[in-house]
Amino acid sequence: MNIVLLGFPGSGKGTQAKILSDKFSLAHISTGDIFREAISAKTSIGREVSGYLSAGRLVPDNLVLEVIKAKLATETRGVLFDGFPRTVDQAQGLDDYFASRGQGIDAVLFLDVDEEAVVARLGSRRTCPKCQKIYNLLSSPPAKADLCDSCGGPLLLREDDKPEVIRRRISVYKDQTEPLAAYYKGLGNFYPVKGGPGPEAVAVE
């Protein structure tokens, strides 16, 4: 089973992806997490992508597809994609890759939340750079202020969760990622899921 999670920045994709991949024993592939890990490990990919992430712009499609194919080549489980694909070209690249191996995408889940809710959520998001756990100061704060419940590390506001970069990410999403909904609707495997009040409420549906 291969699943794509689609949704606005801040729609709760990362949180849902963790819940769903555990529940269905899927490999959770988050291109955002892969890039952030590469940046903190100072690899050559990290150096190539860091400017795009801090500006809230998309990493070029060929580089993204290269990273994804390298991951998939060694993956034997079904996959849950989180934050990928983000352009129609990436989606076509993924379809071609899967087709060449007799595989495909079984479902595209679209997390449908409204834009206002998303902007508020991103500003109060904090992440643990060490273990990638995600918190929200309003709806799911850590037990001790600014410290990760799981590993005790200090929590950070992602550089791209600052207001000016949030606005850029939203406009990039509308221009380049929103057309994916039509692409996948045309393929007949598109399922909108209404964003609920909290993460568990959404995951149960």
Binding site for ligand ADP (CB under 6 A): 9-10, 13, 31-32, 35, 52-53, 56-59, 64, 83-86, 90, 160, 169
* Segment (H or E) for 177: none
Measured from the CB of residue 148, what is the shortest distance to Zn ion in angstroms?
3
Instruction: Please tell me the distance from the alpha carbon of residue 195 to that of residue 131, in angstroms, as a whole number.
Output: 25
Alpha helix segments (H runs only) across the chain: 13-23, 31-40, 44-55, 61-73, 88-100, 115-123, 163-172, 179-187, 199-204
CA atoms within 13 A on the CB side of 118: 19
Distance between CA atoms of residues 51 and 57, nearest Å? 8
For the chain, the C-alpha Rg in angstroms (whole number) is 16
The residue annotated as part of the active site, out of 18, 36, 126, 158, is 158
Binding partner of residue 120 among ligand ADP, Zn ion, none, CB under 5 to 8 Å per kind?
Answer: none
Nearer to Zn ion by Cβ, of 12 and 142: the residue is 142
The residue with its CB nearest to ligand ADP is 32
- Which residue ranges make up the site for Zn ion (CB under 5 A)? 128, 130-131, 133, 148, 150-151, 153
Is-catalytic flag, 86? Answer: yes
> In the block, which residue shows the tokens 């990410």?
169
Q: Which is nearer to Zn ion, 71 or 130 (CB)?
A: 130
Task: Please compute, for residue 46, the number of CA atoms within 13 A of its CA located in the half-sphere on the CB side.
Answer: 10
Active site residue 13: yes
Q: Which of 119, 133, 135 is nearest to 173 (CA)?
A: 119
Q: How far is the CB of 88 from ligand ADP (least distance, A)?
A: 12
Strands, sheet with 79-82, edge to edge from the N-terminal-most edge strand: 27-30, 79-82, 3-7, 107-112, 190-194
User: By C-beta, is 63 or 134 nearer to Zn ion?
Assistant: 134
The residue (of 130 and 162) whose beta carbon lies closer to Zn ion is: 130
Q: Which residue of the set 121, 125, 126, 133 is catalytic?
A: 125
Q: How far is the CB of 153 from Zn ion (least distance, A)?
A: 5
Instruction: Name which of Zn ion, ligand ADP, none residue 12 binds, using a CB cut-off of 5 to 8 Å depending on partner kind.
Output: none
64, interface contact from Zn ion, ligand ADP, none, CB < 5-8 Å by kind: ligand ADP
Q: Is-catalytic flag, 169?
A: yes
Active site amino acids:
13, 86, 125, 158, 169
